[in-house]
Amino acid sequence: MSFEKLPPVAGSVACLTCGAGARTDLEPDRVIAVGFGAAGYFTTDQKYNWSEGSDPDEEYPTVADVEKLAAADPDHDWRIYFAASLYEAEYQRQGEGEWILVKKGEGFA
C-alpha cells in the first residue's frame, strides 16, 4: 500500500432501534446511504468519487460494491463516509474486505 493506515477509532451504535451509527467496521451488505444527510465513497486523490443523490435513478451501492472497485485498484486510500443527523462516520479500507472506522462524530442535528 502506498498510503498511511489511519488508527482505528472505537465505534458504537447510536440508535438501538434502527442500528444507525458509527460501528467499528462495515459489513459487506451495508448500503451506502443515510437518507437525510450524505453518504458516499472516494479515494483521497479523488480518482473515484460517488455521493448519495448524485444520480437519482442509480441504485445505492453497498460496501461489497465499493470493495470490488478498491480490490481492482488497491494502491489508493479508499474511504466510505456517512454524514447523518445523529452520527458521522468515515471508514478506511485497510486490507481485503477490511473497512475500519477512522473518524466519527455526532452528526449535524
What is the residue-wise DSSP string for 15-54?
-TTT--S--SB--TT-BS--SSEEEEEEETT-SSEEETTS
pLDDT tens-place string over residues 17-30? 666 777 777 889 99
Distance CA 18, CA 81 (A): 18
pLDDT at 95: 92
Rounded mean pLDDT, 51-65: 87
Distance CA 64, CA 79 (A): 13
Of the chain, the percentage scoring pLDDT greater than 70 comes to 93
Q: Which domain holds residue 77?
A: 1-109
The model's pTM = 0.89
pLDDT at 69: 95
In the chain, the number of structural domains is 1
Local structure of 78: helix, strand or coil: strand
- Report yes or no: 89 and 82 within 8 Å, Cβ to Cβ: yes
Whole-number average pLDDT of the chain: 87
Q: For residue 16, what pLDDT band results from cuts at 50, 70 and 90?
A: low
